[in-house]
Structure 1
């Protein structure tokens, strides 16, 4: 019974609302880079398309096949990703990982919305799904930055 109560708390109304309102769904016609990430543990999969100009994300699209927690994470990221730098995305990824795995604080602005996923700390099997979107976006941004430095 206690485990069921914990799962109900984990999939709170707020998390489910975020999952249902994911922005920037789909693919870009001509992205600067794309990246796909998959969690072998749960099968969640994300693909992101990113365009950057002068080191800033100007266009972003995502396709997400994940649990409600992965979808909620993609929603929070998608709401804040345009206008960010590769460094900001990587920092948000690292801070989210620390929040989940080491009980660190939620990521700082503009990604403080990840705080809603704090209850997922106790569900290690969900961490990979939650991190996928920021991992894929950081990878796509790094690819663009690498292309631009050549």
Structure 2
């Protein structure tokens, strides 16, 4: 018997999204929208002198899976670089689509294993990672300009 797509842990994560809201005058911002379901994540970031996220905010309008993904990302995004965020996004994408193993430092994303056969849910699960990485890349580009 397969695991349920939604479970208590996912629902708890969805209800406790860290850094919910928006930043005033962020260095970088990005909006990502799922064309499949309309879920949306807006991410705002400020970077420190090393190009790592020093402040982060996210506004999430998504299903419980997208909210849970945003929660897991939000719990550890401060201190990450754009490259690290892109790497995490790629790892989650491959985990969902191809069943690749997750890196040890993102093992908590294993909770989304029941979503693998539900390809329409993958976009929502990836939104937070895509938005945070794009916002960090935008901030870095704004700094370099």
TM-score, with normalisation over the residues of structure 2?
0.94
Rounded to whole Å, the distance in 2 between the matches of 1:105 and 1:17 is 24
Could you say which residue in structure 1 is the equivalent of 2:143?
Answer: 148
CA RMSD between the two structures: 1.4
Q: Is the 8 A contact 1:107 1:114 kept in 2?
A: no
Q: Is the 8 A contact 1:107 1:115 kept in 2?
A: no
Which of 108, 118, 125 is residue 123 of structure 1 equivalent to? Answer: 118
- Confirm or deny that 1:69 pairs with 2:65: yes
In the TM superposition, 1:25-104 aligns within 5 A as 25-54=20-49, 55-104=51-100
Rounded to whole Å, the distance in 2 between the matches of 1:140 and 1:61 is 10
Which of 14, 18, 25 is residue 13 of structure 2 equivalent to? Answer: 18
Rounded to whole Å, the distance in 1 between the matches of 2:103 and 2:120 is 20
TM-score, with normalisation over the residues of structure 1?
0.91
Structure 2 counterpart SS, 1:59: strand
Aligned length in residues: 144
Could you say which residue in structure 2 is the equivalent of 1:138?
Answer: 133
Rounded to whole Å, the distance in 2 between the matches of 1:122 and 1:107 is 21
Rounded to whole Å, the distance in 2 between the matches of 1:148 and 1:30 is 14
Rounded to whole Å, the distance in 2 between the matches of 1:112 and 1:88 is 15
Rounded to whole Å, the distance in 1 between the matches of 2:34 and 2:5 is 20
Rounded to whole Å, the distance in 2 between the matches of 1:107 and 1:16 is 24
Gaps spanning 5+ residues in structure 2: where?
none
Rounded to whole Å, the distance in 1 between the matches of 2:69 and 2:100 is 17
